[in-house]
Amino acid sequence: MQFTRVDLLEKMLPLISSRLHMNTSLSEYYLDLTHFFDPVRSQYNANDIIKKLVPLAKEGDRVVGITDLDLFIPVLSYIFGQAYLGGSAALVSGHRLENKRYGLVNDPQMYADRLLKCVLHELGHAFGLIHCHKPGCVMVSTTYVEEMDQKSDRFCGKCLSELSRRSSLGTSS
């Protein structure tokens, strides 16, 4: 899936488990992404990639693909992540989460925080949660990184109980 900082994901895993109250596991997956590249946009089609992730999820599990590539969906100029609402797969890109993209000094911790929020947000969608309007909740919709920095990496009480209700049949991996 072309993601170089696997060590970061290893550190993130216990946090994801703790936020979701579920078991999680990490595995590497090789996927040739050249077919998903759009030369006009110089970006990768998230809609097509995510379809490849669906078969990876076992019954009741959710799978989230994490990549460094710049993702798009046909109608939007870019996305941070994508998920099938109530589906089994989600996809997150770290490409637009780094400060250096915006001409700012790089901040690895900030990058890690943003990536964690994106992963939790997309997994939330995969478990059927829609956007939340409670300030600070990780399910708040964000379309640029500064906005993402305003929210926490936690689900609000309402989203958490909805998550627990919806996830009672399965676990995330």
Phi, psi (rounded to 5 degrees) for 102:
-110, 15
Residues with a known catalytic role: 122
Check binding of 144 to other proteins (CB under 8 A): yes
Q: Output DSSP code: residue 96.
A: T
CB of 80 to other proteins, least distance (A): 8
Alpha-helical (H) ranges within the chain are 6-20, 46-53, 108-126, 145-150, 157-166
Among 100, 131, 134, 158, binds other proteins (CB under 8 A): 131
Q: Output DSSP code: residue 70.
A: P
Check binding of 84 to other proteins (CB under 8 A): yes
CB of 91 to other proteins, least distance (A): 12
Phi, psi (rounded to 5 degrees) for 134:
-80, 120
Q: Count of CB atoms within 10 A of residue 75's CB?
A: 5
Among 68, 78, 164, 173, binds other proteins (CB under 8 A): 78
Strands 71-73 and 76-79, bridge-based pairing: antiparallel
Q: Mark 41-70 with x for binding to other proteins (rule: CB under 8 A) and - for no binding.
A: x-----x-----------------------
CB of 168 to other proteins, least distance (A): 22
CB of 21 to other proteins, least distance (A): 22
> 90: which strand partners?
64, 83
Binding footprint of other proteins on the chain (CB under 8 A):
41, 47, 72-79, 82-85, 125, 130-131, 133, 141, 143-144
